[in-house]
Structure 1
């Protein structure tokens, strides 16, 4: 090992241990020294996990000379813009309490900052005690930049989609203002606004997955979910993550149900009507399925509609045609109800 000024006794002992174990771990040490994978060893007996070995690939990655690395605390590799969360992640990984694979902002000798994937693994002695830590590195800078660029493109697409929906809404309002009944125009506008809201939610989640409760909160917000207490909605069920297609279709279903409840059902007038929404996930031979119920009560007596309008067709058709689910609408005089059973596709991260 090259000489480093002001080495502690622990540092000297750790370096000596590496040298003494070269005979036992000869092939591994040779492989580490010649590997294209950047690697370092640290002394786990010191709180700061000082670096006691660094291979040539690590030196090429960071631009440091070996003499400048040995004896340094591992944390010195963190970039100046690393925050407390990054430091806690690193400490947890070295203590065995956190993730083994980290994404951290690191820096090179010339001050350049890069994102590194760092894999931390303990090295144990014959008694099982952790005596060293082995860390390998992958330069993730290109991957992170591509991810940020995709995020920018997705944000721009979401922004343009919102603008397009707003334009459609304005054109429709002007075109239909004197052509048809105002209630039909308002119904159309409400559906476009609901579609815009769910697009906004999915955009924030990169169109990967959205929680059912978040979807309900956003779509039902205009109908009193965030109004004066007590709320006219109750929710029962553990949160469920939905993919984009399921979220889009369920959002439109919830909007139609809430609109109908506000016009004719439990949410109409200033009465004491409420809506109870409950759901659960249950297994089936084809995989997990979502069973959800919308139950109104406390409103005026319910009568079946005289005709099957667009809202009913959307509710019953959206899930059956698009998601392979089943929907049953019940117009019980005590309160309208909707029962939904649909497959629950796995989403990213589950």
Structure 2
């Protein structure tokens, strides 16, 4: 018993040291504690990789108190109906220091079950050694229930579709609820990935690695923006390209804090199929980000972004005027590869012209006959 108490004391001390490493005003530490997503940190250097820190959301999800959680391996949430193959998958990933994402049946303190979407990732120091494991959870029990309800409604509608149009409408509404639940989960997973990258940035001392992580974080945040914009319209099959471009470009320029980077926007209302949203977001992010980096010279620069519809095509032009600056070759090559892959996926044409200090990039792709004005 004394040995068990000592292990829990060691775990709590490790958690206190982790918290002490973040200033009280640190926005990441505050977000970790306050977020509604349950999160824990474990210490693989202690026996049985115990939990050393958890937030309030995790305590609410499981029903356990802080004293009942700290110092224990998170397997205490498993029960009779937990899938052993899933448990083995988690154990193997932790043992080999790999990321892992699983859906697992867990048990609360009161014995009730819940479906838990778990994402676990190692946190490494500058030498590449694992110092912690970070895990986020998401209770998606309601989504599981809705999936079953939706399946039953769909079978009934297929059997009597001619007589029961009202039932069919109800099933479609239920399907829409499910889509929004999935969207919520995707946004939470993107938030989790961004949080993990930010944590990695904090523990990284190598400037080159930090810049690489920042470029990854920039692209994750662009995807988060497009995911948020996908559900601003009643029809989720369409995506408002102009509004997305306005928000992303403005955020990219504002983030520089530079008053000498002058931005002008000419954005006509334009809807495109939602399936094109992700590759389009990456194209906008890469091209505008490239223009912003060129505008970080001493003289700043002008950036003009145009989005309009032309004979069933989307025309996007990004034009900038600035002094050339040195750039990160590795990041530039990654940007080029992302542009090529996204353009290929869309069937888009990208044309770049250089006229002295002036760079013009045109992106043209077929978007069909969707309505131009979303409002």
Normalised by the length of structure 1, the TM-score is 0.50
Which protein has the bigger helix share?
2
Q: Which has the larger radius of gyration?
A: 1
